[in-house]
């Protein structure tokens, strides 16, 4: 029989092309040309991961004609796979279909190992899967008396021969499970290889399920996504409260608890691990899988959460020089954290950056990629501590600023966490000073006649103000002239509106009257102390940002991303009116969602991303706000709304700011004179009674 000629094969979308001997399987042709096609079963025709879509017709661009007869006929293996699992009419299994003539072959995303993962719902950038855990099915040579080698050695031999994997080492539990698996699978087994190096799991026969969880351990909430490691899809997301709250509302009070109690660190570690384990239980139950199917976890958290979860004493983080026990990424068995998973499951913990800038910030960087930007990009993750990253591809700086819990609704008289019934949006009429607002869980605004009914339908009253609501109400009160640039509620307006009411030596603004929207609706005031708490928080954030801007010798930033649950809810305009962030083109200020959690997700699914963030963290310049002498100076300047001295050209293009009484050409004293007259308010002595 005449020998078949070579054939030209072109793969899309990669565009890789080359000649292969006719009769070569499409998969072998692809591998020879460096085309990325997935496989678990190792060409046994049972995993379906290698499915491709041949394209037929004339391809003048490529100079070839691709015809059905240029591939081997649809075979028994493919027919069996189609009958059992379904295989679309236009698809072929590349491990069995052979190239007989010129062909154009499309590799669909789901058949690529390094496929793109796109998660619009998470505000996540598209990223490329680079699985850390890979499954491989192999047939192992049965033992015989003539070649008395161990089963593990023969398994390694098969993995080397079939998959080209060398230098493996096996967990002890895998060695224990090896012989039963070989026996049950008739010497066919599937193994999970972690990082191309560790044999962490074994199953008899063919097995193609592997799951992982990406976890963000926040000081308030622990959130997780359960992910199919084989394709990057998120199967369930859930969150639990961090039970450490009972030991202290904020991070430093938890460190104090550890310092004052002999078993404090143990108690806090046990609490967070128990909550994390509960979260895993919730996630696997939701998806209907077993804990033993969890093979990989990726975790982010601020430095104190990071240390407590790992069982490391966090007290050195409580005072200068704020020394981390470890600032590199960690990889450890999940069992070391007491988590119930597959016995071989590994945990990847992203690297902390500095004493106050943790693995959560590493996650934010991974998700938002400021280190890839050409423009100067500011990313702030606002919580009880604000983590701040500023820079671009040339330099990247990070710091943390102690904003306190005001942005989360704590320390605010009517403050509450974001939950149904909480006021989240506010507008104040500039003439009548009357408010209208929207609460979480209800679509219509409070001045809509349908508001009462909508509240009733939602089963809530107006219960308080959440972080985004307090930002908006303070900013709106400032724009309406109720609050001065110094943050003082102007009591003289009591003559104009009954909404300004005396409150000791200061005044409050009545945002909502008790019972006005049905039962469960208390009177909601914005007090002078509330305004002060917000000023202190926003000044701390701004001062931290300003320190980083000083380091880069810049007066402006090009782009702002607001990350975290709170950051994602706040309106950029109101954040800028308040002076929470520096003046910037408003169209370039956007929410980044839970960027820390997204970073954990990316790290869970990509070994390449792990290497990337480890490299970036090494070159991040860390600024310690607590010991920077200029922090207090910037803080004092930033107490004013939006700022005592910084110009707001972008903001003033879209909104009319009240004329500054403290400095300006019309105040009769010229710019700077009033500023010099006015004594700054030191943070330590600022109270609600300083009017
Ligand atoms: S490689 Fe598994 S079906 Fe082709």
Query: Is the predicted pLDDT of residue 517 greater than 50, yes or no?
Result: yes
Spatial distance between the Cα atoms of 5 and 20, rounded to a whole number of angstroms: 9
Mean per-residue pLDDT of the chain: 90
Whose Cα sits closest to atom 3 in ligand 1? 45
Cβ–ligand 1 contact at 37 (below 6 Å): no
Q: Give me ligand 1 centre to Cα 38, in Å.
A: 8
Longest CA–CA span in the chain (Å) reads 106
Q: Could you tell me the pLDDT band of residue 668, with boundaries at 50, 70 and 90? A: very low
Residue pLDDT, tens place only, 161-197: 999 999 999 999 999 999 999 999 999 999 999 999 9
Spatial distance between the Cα atoms of 661 and 659, rounded to a whole number of angstroms: 6
| Residues β-bridged to residue 437 | 426
Nearest Cα neighbor of 30 from 102, 103, 111, 94 is 94
- Ligand 1, closest atom to CA 42? 1
- Ligand 1, closest atom to CA 96? 4
Cβ–ligand 1 contact at 41 (below 6 Å): yes
Cβ–ligand 1 contact at 45 (below 6 Å): yes
Cβ–ligand 1 contact at 477 (below 6 Å): no
DSSP secondary structure letters along 176-237 = HHHHHHHHHTTTEEEEEEETTTEEEEEEES-----EEEEEEE-SSEEEEEEEETTT--EEEE
Question: 10 Å Cβ neighbour count for 325?
Answer: 14
Residue pLDDT, tens place only, 236-253: 999 999 988 888 877 888
Q: Around 429, how many Cα atoms within 13 Å sit in the side-chain half-sphere?
A: 10
DSSP state of 243: G
Tokens, residue 67: 């015809």
Q: Report pTM.
A: 0.88
Residue pLDDT, tens place only, 274-295: 999 999 999 999 999 999 999 9
Segment 389-402 shows an average pLDDT of: 95
- Highest mean pLDDT out of 3-17, 327-341, 516-530: 327-341
**Choice from 49, 87, 139, 162 to test ligand 1 binding pocket (greatest atom count within 8 A of CB):** 49
Spatial distance between the Cα atoms of 118 and 602, rounded to a whole number of angstroms: 11
What local confidence, expressed as pLDDT, does residue 411 receive?
Answer: 83
Whose Cα sits closest to atom 2 in ligand 1? 47
User: Do residues 339 and 275 lie in contact, with contact meaning Cβ atoms separated by under 8 Å?
Assistant: no
Cβ–ligand 1 contact at 51 (below 6 Å): no
Spatial distance between the Cα atoms of 360 and 351, rounded to a whole number of angstroms: 9
Q: Give me ligand 1 centre to Cα 44, in Å.
A: 6
Residue pLDDT, tens place only, 457-500: 888 889 999 989 999 999 999 999 999 999 999 999 999 999 99
| Residues β-bridged to residue 177 | none
Query: Is the predicted pLDDT of residue 678 greater than 60, yes or no?
Result: no
User: Do residues 85 and 47 lie in contact, with contact meaning Cβ atoms separated by under 8 Å?
Assistant: no
Cβ–ligand 1 contact at 117 (below 6 Å): no
Tokens, residue 552: 């880069």
Which uninterrupted H or E stretch holds 294?
Answer: strand 294-301
Please tell me which residue, 134 or 5, carries the higher pLDDT value. 134
- Ligand 1, closest atom to CA 41? 2
Q: Give me ligand 1 centre to Cα 78, in Å.
A: 10
**Choice from 39, 84, 111 to test ligand 1 binding pocket (greatest atom count within 8 A of CB):** 39
Spatial distance between the Cα atoms of 217 and 597, rounded to a whole number of angstroms: 9
User: Do residues 468 and 415 lie in contact, with contact meaning Cβ atoms separated by under 8 Å?
Assistant: no
What local confidence, expressed as pLDDT, does residue 688 receive?
Answer: 33
Cβ–ligand 1 contact at 43 (below 6 Å): yes
Q: Give me ligand 1 centre to Cα 464, in Å.
A: 57
């Amino acid at each position: 029989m005449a020998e078949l000629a070579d054939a030209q094969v072109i793969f899309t979308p990669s565009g890789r092309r080359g000649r292969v001997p006719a009769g070569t399987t499409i998969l072998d042709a692809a591998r020879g040309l460096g085309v990325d096609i997935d496989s678990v079963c190792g060409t046994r025709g049972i995993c379906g991961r290698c499915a491709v879509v041949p394209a037929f017709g004339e391809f003048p661009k490529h100079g070839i004609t691709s015809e059905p007869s240029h591939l081997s006929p649809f075979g028994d293996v493919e027919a069996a796979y189609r009958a059992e699992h379904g295989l679309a009419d236009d698809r072929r299994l590349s491990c069995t279909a052979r190239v007989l003539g010129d062909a154009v072959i499309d590799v669909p995303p789901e058949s690529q190992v390094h496929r793109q993962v796109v998660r619009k719902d998470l505000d996540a950038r598209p990223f490329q899967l680079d699985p850390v855990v890979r499954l491989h099915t192999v047939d192992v040579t049965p033992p015989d008396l003539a070649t008395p080698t161990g089963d593990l050695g023969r398994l390694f031999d098969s993995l080397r021969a079939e998959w080209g994997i060398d230098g493996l080492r096996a967990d002890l539990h895998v060695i224990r499970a090896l012989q039963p698996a070989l026996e049950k699978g008739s010497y066919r087994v599937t193994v999970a290889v972690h990082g191309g190096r560790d044999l962490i799991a074994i199953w008899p026969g063919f097995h193609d399920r592997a799951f992982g969880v990406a976890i963000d351990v926040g000081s308030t909430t622990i959130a997780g996504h359960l992910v199919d490691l084989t394709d990057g899809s998120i199967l369930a997301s859930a969150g639990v409260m961090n039970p450490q709250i009972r030991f202290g509302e904020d991070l430093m009070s938890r460190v104090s608890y550890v310092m004052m109690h002999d078993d404090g660190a143990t108690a806090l570690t046990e609490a967070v691990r128990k909550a994390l384990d509960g979260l895993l239980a919730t996630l696997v139950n939701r998806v209907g899988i077993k804990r033993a199917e969890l093979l990989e976890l990726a975790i982010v958290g601020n430095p104190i959460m990071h240390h407590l979860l790992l069982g490391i004493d966090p007290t050195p983080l409580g005072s200068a020089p704020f020394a981390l026990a470890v600032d590199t990424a960690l990889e450890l068995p999940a069992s070391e954290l007491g988590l119930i998973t597959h016995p071989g499951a590994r945990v990847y913990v992203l690297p902390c950056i500095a004493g106050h800038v943790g693995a959560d910030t590493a996650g934010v960087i991974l998700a938002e990629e400021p280190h890839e930007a050409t423009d100067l990009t500011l990313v702030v993750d606002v919580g009880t501590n604000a983590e701040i990253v500023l820079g671009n591809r040339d330099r990247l700086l990070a710091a943390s600023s102690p904003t306190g819990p005001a942005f989360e609704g704590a320390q605010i008289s009517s403050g509450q966490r974001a939950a149904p019934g909480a006021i989240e949006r506010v507008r104040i009429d500039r003439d009548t000073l009357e408010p209208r607002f929207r609460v979480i869980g209800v679509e219509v605004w409070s001045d809509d006649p349908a508001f009462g009914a909508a509240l009733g339908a939602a089963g809530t009253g107006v219960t308080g103000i959440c972080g985004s609501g307090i930002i908006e109400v303070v900013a709106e009160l400032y724009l309406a002239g109720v609050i001065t640039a110094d943050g003082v509620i102007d009591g003289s307006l009591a003559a104009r509106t009954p909404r300004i009411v005396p409150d000791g030596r200061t005044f409050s603004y009545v945002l909502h009257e008790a019972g006005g929207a049905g039962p469960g609706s208390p009177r909601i005031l914005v007090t002078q102390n509330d305004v002060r708490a917000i000023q202190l928080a926003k000044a701390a954030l701004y001062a931290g940002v300003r320190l980083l801007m000083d380091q880069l010798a810049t007066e402006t930033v090009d782009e702002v991303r607001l990350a975290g649950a709170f950051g994602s809810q706040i309106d950029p305009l109101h954040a800028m009116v308040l002076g929470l962030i520096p003046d910037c083109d408003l169209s370039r200020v956007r929410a980044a969602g839970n960027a820390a959690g997204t970073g954990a997700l990316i790290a869970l699914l990509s070994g390449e991303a792990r290497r990337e963030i480890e490299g970036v963290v090494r070159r991040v310049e860390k600024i310690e706000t607590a010991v920077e002498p200029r922090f207090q100076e910037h803080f004092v300047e930033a107490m004013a709304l939006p700022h005592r001295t910084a110009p707001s050209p972008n903001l003033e293009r879209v909104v009319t700011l009240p004329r500054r009484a403290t400095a300006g050409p019309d105040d009769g004293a010229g710019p700077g004179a009033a500023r010099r007259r006015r004594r700054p308010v030191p943070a330590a002595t600022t109270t609600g009674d300083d009017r």
